[in-house]
Homo-oligomer: A and B are copies of this chain.
Amino acid sequence: MSERIAVVGVGRMGANMARRLAESGYSVTAVFDSRPAVAAELARELGCQSPDTLAGVTAVADIVLTVVSDDRAMDQIFSKKKGDSLLSGAKSRIFINCATVSPAIHNEVQKRARKAGAESLEACMASSITQARNGTLYLMVGGDRKVFERVEPVLKALSDGGKLLRYIGPTGTAAQVKALVNMVMNINTAGLAEGLGLGAALGLDLKALMEVFSQTGANSRVLVTDGEDMVNREHSCFFSAAHAAKDSGIALALARKARLKTPLAAAAYGQYRRMVSAGLGELDKSGVAELTFKGRGAKARRRKASRR
């Protein structure tokens, strides 16, 4: 537990991971965010630093967890150009990259890290904010197995003592698995929204309909997590529609490259893109029901606007 740990990107996920590690007895030395005030507040809470620069983060940490929004953000924080970068003075550091980004950027970051004398791993998360806080994240790790073993205790603290920790394979493979998980989840979610929306249009009792779904071949994890929320229009964000669009997009790019036709994945991507275009991208993924229940969607937009 002597390693010094920093977290870069402390939105709700990253902040909860930092809290969990601090609680587990790890020395969290620094947090960083593109919004300095957010990092400063968390630093006060945890009694750690919030350096002004990425290089300042690397200077005070042995292990740096990153939880940033997309490939572009990964490219920036691991910049190889002159200017601020996590790679400045990064010799013997280990970077653990937890955001859902493309397999390609994981490979690129791994290359850059090695050039700087550091190592990098991908630790893709298939869970959400509550699980981050409780240290019960499902974690899929890609990268060098020996590097994985060196940071295994830290990852165990985040994944129910390791019960939910899976080493997948070389760099890029965990991100591939994660993209497939979210691709299938998004298909099931968008499909469920159609089933419930059509049930509503037919005037069926949706509670009874969901009970039938749960007992039959229509059952799924998202029925349990999102079914009621779809009916009740409770779309507080755990996993945003914008993220769903991004992740399905990553999977579709892999499919295109493999010359594979994936019409269901394309249809789900289309729905989540439609949500983003309609200004509903910050709703939870369950919000896709706003597109499939009659008389919703436009109304939801108006309500959202009036709340601002």
Contact = CB atoms under 8 A, between A and B. Distances in A.
Given A198-B255, A218-B181, A264 B187 contact: yes
A118 interface: no
Given A166-B211, A264-B264, A264-B268, 5 more contacts: A177-B209, A180-B218, A181-B218, A191-B264, A198-B262
B176 A204 contact: yes
Nearest to A222: B217
Nearest to A258: B201
A208 B254 contact: no
Question: What 8 A-B pairs are tightest by C-beta distance, nearest first?
Answer: A187-B191, A185-B217, A220-B220, A184-B218, A201-B258, A219-B221, A126-B216, A184-B195
Interface residues of A, number: 65
Contacts of A183: 191, 194-195, 198
Interface string A220-261: 111001000000000000000000000000010011001111
Contact of A261 (B195, B251, B268, B292): B292
Given A180-B198, A270-B263, A291-B261, A217 B212 contact: no
Given A126-B215, A221-B218, A263-B267, A187 B176 contact: no
A209 B180 contact: yes
Contacts of A97: none
B204 A173 contact: yes
Chain copies in complex: 2
A213 B181 contact: yes
A292 B127 CA distance: 27
Contacts of A184: 191-192, 194-195, 213, 218
A115 interface: no
Chain A interface, >50% SS class: helix
Given A199-B180, A215-B126, A271 B262 contact: no
A204 B179 CA distance: 12
Given A188-B187, A194-B183, A204-B176, A212 B126 contact: yes
Interface of A: 126-127, 138, 140, 164, 166, 168-169, 173, 176-177, 180-185, 187-192, 194-195, 197-199, 201-202, 204-205, 208-209, 211-213, 215-222, 225, 251, 254-255, 258-268, 270-271, 291-292, 294
A271 to B, nearest CB: 6
Contacts of A176: 199, 202, 204
Contacts of A164: 215
A287 to B, nearest CB: 15
A275 B194 CA distance: 23
Contact of A191 (B168, B191, B211): B191
Contacts of A225: 217
A257 to B, nearest CB: 9
Given A190-B264, A194-B262, A221 B216 contact: yes
A211 B168 CA distance: 11
B266 A217 contact: no
